[in-house]
Amino acid sequence: MHHPAGSGIHHRITDLREQIEYHNHRYHVLDDPEIPDQDYDQMLRELERLELEHPEYARSSSPANRIGAYPSRGFSTVTHATPMKSLGNAFNRQEIQDFNRRVRELIHSDHPVEYIAEPKFDGLAVSLRYEKGWLVQAATRGDGTQGENITQNMRAVLKDMTLLQNDSVPDELEVRGEVIMLRQDFNDLNEAQKRSGQKPFANPRNAAAGSLRQLDPSITASRPLRMFCYALGEVSRDRKFKTHGESLEWLQSVGLPVSDQIETVQGFEGCLEYYEKMLANRDDCPFEMDGVVYKVARLDWQAQLGFTAKAPRWAIAYKFPAQEATTQVEAIDIQVGRTGAITPVARLVPVFVGGVTVSNATLHNRSEIQRLDIRVGDFVIVRRAGDVIPEVVSVIKSKRPANTAAYAFPGKCPVCGSKIVYQGEEVIARCSGGLYCHAQKVRSIIHFASRKAMDIEGLGEKIVEQMVTEGLVDSIADLYRLDANTLSRLDGKAEKSANNLVDAIDKSRKTTLARFIFALGIPQVGETTADVLADAFADLDHLMNASEERLIAVPDVGPIVSRDITAFFDQTHNREVIRDLLELGIEFPGKEPVFEMPQWSESAEPGSPFLNKTVVLTGTLSIPRDRAKSMLKQAGARVTSSVSKRTDYVIAGEQAGTKADKAKSMGVPLLDEDRFFHMLGHRE
């Protein structure tokens, strides 16, 4: 950016300092940051650069020279025995390479340097002081020199680790680490906050900070906080340890919590490998990481390298791509899904976040809009974590433009004008138009034709939209009444592609019962449930006439799903469409029902570890999912889609997400792919 000389720069510097102070206060004192860390870092970097380039404007009081914020009122102040410094940040390989080169130059090493690679926990730093094994003081980092005295609160977090009973514990011990909240605990806490009408926390870090910095320690005690230790303080840097790794092992041996994701790596290459691995596992990790940290393993080298004013020269953080970014709301739209579910969506000025460009974010439902008070024109923080749909985390109220209006949630479907009705606890809004609603019609036809349903190639969103608008197709059955002649009337449909589409539709007539059930788009009936239903009933008529009780007896089908299924088949309209489809030549080979059979596969080898086990597959496996499923069925397992108390195993492939988390939290055994194949007795 070009800045005019002189007062323009001074102005910018003052402006940056003011903004940074404001955000420091929100982050460190109020535990309620308003902007993503990334935006803050950018401002700080700009200020640092300007002060370097224009030393005449540099001030010792500038936030560029300070770590964090001054301690807030309410807690007494603690002066750290040794300052709690920050870490330098790297955002790309080059910066890691530069770091590694500097380290090698300073210690005159011709060999790859050994590093201890650790997760960068996204929580808040604390320093613990033990005397004769007793926790005597705990403090937040504060400004690095002085922090807040949170001893009582940390006692509540550390519980039996308040007293270390190990002969090797020195009289004076200082330990540093991070207090965090596990993702699952954070979600549960937020649910509870919402239920009791309290403000939910924006992310696990805020929840951890907000919970730890309570003046009433009993509140802290009621919150699910954890600590991971990552360093010894100066006091206890005993000569008996040669490496940082040894000191971590010792911490663990006296009963303090150390992450099991810490590894020893060799040189730049080892650093990169660790980064890639941790980044790939980011969404599976039970706690949030905002990067990884490398520390020179040898303590004598650490001493030799020393510190700059702000950070050690022997360590660096390699940050992950930010999962949050700021952007502006251009519009708030309503989407109508296949089953009429109404989802408000924020249309955004495109922004790069979590590795992709995001221009839409879900606003979930009406009460979420009310909670956020989001308005067109607002600046918002969007979050895109893993492959989860991007969402709006919060509105930056201090940046709200003048003359915005609160968003009024519509009472009528914006597509068909039917009344919007509410289900459940008034959270889920639905268009009551059913298949009268253009949007629902289009969505249900697209679903019907999709790859895992009837698999009609070439029947995409655009052409379905055209067909319905032009009146060529009014229900899924109409697809089988189309001819190439009629189709070629559509805009841009050449004769050849019209013929191809008719062929593809024709080909889809031969299908399986499972695909057909899935294709019908019964609410809550996904691919796996459709499979289970097809297996259990083997006959469409039996399924259509099944009672709720009978349906509930099917594995993977609960009372809610069974009600949706019976409600679907109770509608005359749906029965008519099914009758039409069968008359138009849809057919599936008959099968013997397996429902109510005592064993799931008679052919399963005796002694198969999967015999009669309920198994859930998640993540990406090296073989197709369907293949894994049939192997499991062969081995006598039933494969279901959701993790519950009744699940025996969860098989987690690469990038397994919430299901793996859920399994962990419920204590359901997780199998990785190797283990799975091993148990199957296959070695593929």
Token readout for 677 is 């194949």
Nearest-approach distance from CB 317 to ligand IVH, in angstroms? 6
Q: Which residues, numbered 83-112, are part of the site for ligand IVH (CB under 6 A)?
A: 85-87
CA atoms within 13 A on the CB side of 115: 29
State yes or no: residue 125 binds ligand IVH (CB under 6 A).
yes
Cβ burial, residue 341 (10 Å; 0-12/13-18/19+): middle
389 vs 397: CA distance, rounded Å? 23
Judged by CB under 6 A, which stretch of 19-27, 113-121, 162-170, 388-396 contacts ligand IVH?
A: 113-121
Nearest-approach distance from CB 141 to ligand IVH, in angstroms? 6
CB of 138 or CB of 293, closer to ligand IVH = 293
CB of 86 or CB of 365, closer to ligand IVH = 86
Give Cα separations from 102 to 96, 98, 310, 397, 594 (angstroms): 10, 6, 17, 43, 67
Token readout for 445 is 């036809």
Judged by CB under 6 A, which stretch of 309-317, 365-373, 552-560, 607-615 contacts ligand IVH?
A: 309-317
Number of residues that bind ligand IVH (CB under 6 A): 15
State yes or no: residue 293 binds ligand IVH (CB under 6 A).
yes
> Residue 630 — left, alpha, or beta (φ > 0 → left; ψ -120 to 50 → alpha)?
alpha
Q: Are 598 and 611 in contact (CB under 8 A)?
A: no
CB of 85 or CB of 664, closer to ligand IVH = 85
Count how many residues are written for the chain.
684
Nearest-approach distance from CB 262 to ligand IVH, in angstroms? 8
CB of 114 or CB of 391, closer to ligand IVH = 114
Q: Are 675 and 304 in contact (CB under 8 A)?
A: no
Catalytically annotated residue among 85, 120, 662, 664 = 120
The site map against ligand IVH for 492-531 (x = CB under 6 A) is: ----------------------------------------
CB atoms within 10 A of CB 316: 27
Judged by CB under 6 A, which stretch of 99-107, 311-319, 492-500, 501-509 contacts ligand IVH?
A: 311-319
Nearest-approach distance from CB 20 to ligand IVH, in angstroms? 16
Nearest-approach distance from CB 207 to ligand IVH, in angstroms? 16
Token readout for 462 is 């655009």
State yes or no: residue 12 binds ligand IVH (CB under 6 A).
no
Nearest-approach distance from CB 246 to ligand IVH, in angstroms? 16
State yes or no: residue 440 binds ligand IVH (CB under 6 A).
no
CB of 58 or CB of 311, closer to ligand IVH = 311
Judged by CB under 6 A, which stretch of 115-123, 430-438, 463-471, 668-676 contacts ligand IVH?
A: 115-123
614 vs 636: CA distance, rounded Å? 9
N-terminal to C-terminal alpha carbon distance within the chain: 56
CB of 33 or CB of 433, closer to ligand IVH = 33
DSSP string, 110-134: SSPPEEEEEEEESSEEEEEEEETTE
State yes or no: residue 271 binds ligand IVH (CB under 6 A).
no
CB of 315 or CB of 416, closer to ligand IVH = 315
Token readout for 283 is 């969404």
Give Cα separations from 228 to 199, 293, 338, 440, 667 (angstroms): 27, 14, 45, 49, 21
Token readout for 171 is 């009289």
The residues, ordered by sequence, that sit 6+ positions from 141 with a Cβ below 8 Å of its Cβ are 67, 68, 84, 124, 125, 126, 127, 147
Nearest-approach distance from CB 316 to ligand IVH, in angstroms? 10
State yes or no: residue 287 binds ligand IVH (CB under 6 A).
no
State yes or no: residue 312 binds ligand IVH (CB under 6 A).
yes
614-618 and 428-431 as β-strands: parallel, antiparallel, unpaired?
unpaired
Nearest-approach distance from CB 518 to ligand IVH, in angstroms? 45
194 counts as catalytic: no
Q: Are 346 and 332 in contact (CB under 8 A)?
A: yes
Nearest-approach distance from CB 147 to ligand IVH, in angstroms? 11
The closest residue (CB) to ligand IVH is 125
| Among positions 181, 317, 374, 522, the unique one binding ligand IVH when judged by CB under 6 A | 317
504 vs 486: CA distance, rounded Å? 16
| Among positions 66, 80, 120, 298, the unique one binding ligand IVH when judged by CB under 6 A | 120
State yes or no: residue 28 binds ligand IVH (CB under 6 A).
no
The residues, ordered by sequence, that sit 6+ positions from 334 with a Cβ below 8 Å of its Cβ are 342, 343, 344, 345, 410, 413, 414
Q: Which residues, numbered 139-158, are part of the site for ligand IVH (CB under 6 A)?
A: 141
State yes or no: residue 118 binds ligand IVH (CB under 6 A).
yes
CB of 231 or CB of 477, closer to ligand IVH = 231
Q: Are 340 and 440 in contact (CB under 8 A)?
A: yes
Q: How far is CA 444 from the centre of its chain?
A: 28
Q: Which residues, numbered 155-214, are part of the site for ligand IVH (CB under 6 A)?
A: 178
Q: Which residues, numbered 30-89, are part of the site for ligand IVH (CB under 6 A)?
A: 85-87
Q: Which residues, numbered 373-432, are part of the site for ligand IVH (CB under 6 A)?
A: none
| Among positions 231, 415, 522, 650, the unique one binding ligand IVH when judged by CB under 6 A | 231
CB of 154 or CB of 231, closer to ligand IVH = 231
Judged by CB under 6 A, which stretch of 16-24, 114-122, 186-194, 662-670 contacts ligand IVH?
A: 114-122
CB atoms within 10 A of CB 549: 9
365 vs 379: CA distance, rounded Å? 19
Q: Are 524 and 601 in contact (CB under 8 A)?
A: no
9 vs 168: CA distance, rounded Å? 56
CB of 82 or CB of 512, closer to ligand IVH = 82
| Among positions 186, 230, 275, 320, the unique one binding ligand IVH when judged by CB under 6 A | 230
Cα Rg, the chain, nearest whole Å: 30
459 vs 461: CA distance, rounded Å? 7
Q: Are 501 and 459 in contact (CB under 8 A)?
A: yes
CB of 322 or CB of 557, closer to ligand IVH = 322
Nearest-approach distance from CB 285 to ligand IVH, in angstroms? 13
Q: How far is CA 644 from the centre of its chain?
A: 20
Catalytic residues: 120
Which residues of the chain form contacts with ligand IVH (CB under 6 A)? 85-87, 118, 120-121, 125, 141, 178, 230-231, 293, 312, 315, 317
